[in-house]
Amino acid sequence: MTASHDVFEFADALGPGKIIHVHEPGIGLKGTLVVDNVAAGPSIGGLRMAPDVSTAECFRLARAMTMKNAAAGLSHGGGKSVLYGDPGMPRERKEQLVRAMACALRDVRDYIFGPDMGTDEVCMAWVKEEIGRAVGLPSEIGGIPLDELGATGWGVRAATEVAIEHCDFELAGARFAVQGFGSVGLHAARFLAEKGALLVAASDSRGATASPKGLDVEALAELKRSGKSVADHPDGRRLDRDALVDVECEIWIPAARPDVLHEENMRRLKAKLVVSGANIPMTDGAERYLHEQGVLCVPDFIANAGGVICAAMEYHGSTESAAFAAIEEKVRDNTAQVLANARKGGVLPRQAAVALSRERVERAMSYRRWSIF
């Protein structure tokens, strides 16, 4: 592969405007920032920390943010950054890396850091102190703590409620499984359980637990808070982490890693509705297959927009209650519009969602001297 091919491998009509790699051998810092498209305004996107991230994953996530922010009608474009490392490393080491990453990207003013997998509001406080711009901050310094409050999970429930109108079952009494019992998964479980749905299985990176009678969401949250795995839950049957896909349920919520539903396991899924809390949780092939099997898949950037809506409202000085009301309204409207368009056009919900967002991004681009920056 030639160098020029490598650098422009992801380039298309929407972006990315910039791909920046940062490296500081003195402290072992390695990170990547992709600023995809800022026609609508400075990009907002999470900082992900994981040992196995890549530039390709960073680009796909940045593009997902362009589409998500446009779908949510925010005056922000899409970007994403990834930091190589184990997010469970000692705090002092993590703080050093996160602060260094922020400093390295200090002058890239069209990117605003937010929390993502492996980072949280404390990390965003470090970033804010270093460079003066971050969202998803602790409340003590003006933030709306979106992960603590469950902003994304709140939107996932709103999307689920609307999607169920297209299904042959009710939310009350429906069985659901959550892959990834972190900030998104835990709160999605809590809000869905409040509406009478039954959590029958949950997983995290260390394992899974299942019970057809239903699992107590608060007991699982307590286990996670005490540093244990959901697999340690005494009332559930312990399963292999990746056996979550086999669980009998109506609703399956991916809230962990990309591409967890793929060509090798897509036939095993029992659910009738998949509402994506995670970003890019399924391959294109899996999404098409599930659609053909009559499984309704609400696309990631429509269902999980709660976090970024909250973050953007925080950035513009709004309050928690206004942010939650906006999430409910925007996620509901977008889910309804996308599913109606998909049905009318005989296309996948993702195709309808991409068309909706793309039209909004292109309109924003048409107002600019240059198109994507």
Which amino acid is residue 293, in one-letter code? Q
The pattern of x and - marking residues 150 through 169 that bind ligand NAD according to CB under 6 A reads: --x-----------------
- 359, with CB counted inside 10 A (0-12, 13-18, 19+), is exposed
C-beta of residue 224 within 8 angstroms of C-beta of residue 246: no
327 contacts ligand NAD (rule: CB under 6 A): no
Contact with ligand NAD (CB under 6 A) among 162, 184, 198, 253: 184
69 contacts ligand NAD (rule: CB under 6 A): no
Instruction: Extract the tokens encoding 241.
Output: 């982490």
85 contacts ligand NAD (rule: CB under 6 A): no
Contact with ligand NAD (CB under 6 A) among 10, 84, 154, 181: 181
Shortest-Cβ-distance residue relative to ligand NAD: 182
334 contacts ligand NAD (rule: CB under 6 A): no
**Strand partners of residue 218:** none
**DSSP conformation letters of 121-152:** HHHHHHHHHHHS-BSS--GGGT---HHHHTHH
**Strand partners of residue 29:** 24
Cα separation, 341 vs 294, whole angstroms: 16
How many CA atoms within 13 Å lie on the side-chain side of 305? Answer: 37
Query: In whole angstroms, how close is the CB of 225 to ligand NAD at the nearest point?
Result: 12
Query: In whole angstroms, how close is the CB of 107 to ligand NAD at the nearest point?
Result: 26
Residue closer to ligand NAD, measured from CB, 82 or 372: 82
Catalytic residues: 80
Cα separation, 295 vs 98, whole angstroms: 40
C-beta of residue 157 within 8 angstroms of C-beta of residue 187: no
277 contacts ligand NAD (rule: CB under 6 A): yes
256 contacts ligand NAD (rule: CB under 6 A): yes
Residue closer to ligand NAD, measured from CB, 18 or 80: 80
Query: In whole angstroms, how close is the CB of 147 to ligand NAD at the nearest point?
Result: 5
Chain residues in the site for ligand NAD (CB under 6 A): 116-118, 146-147, 152, 179-185, 203-205, 241, 255-257, 277-279, 304, 307
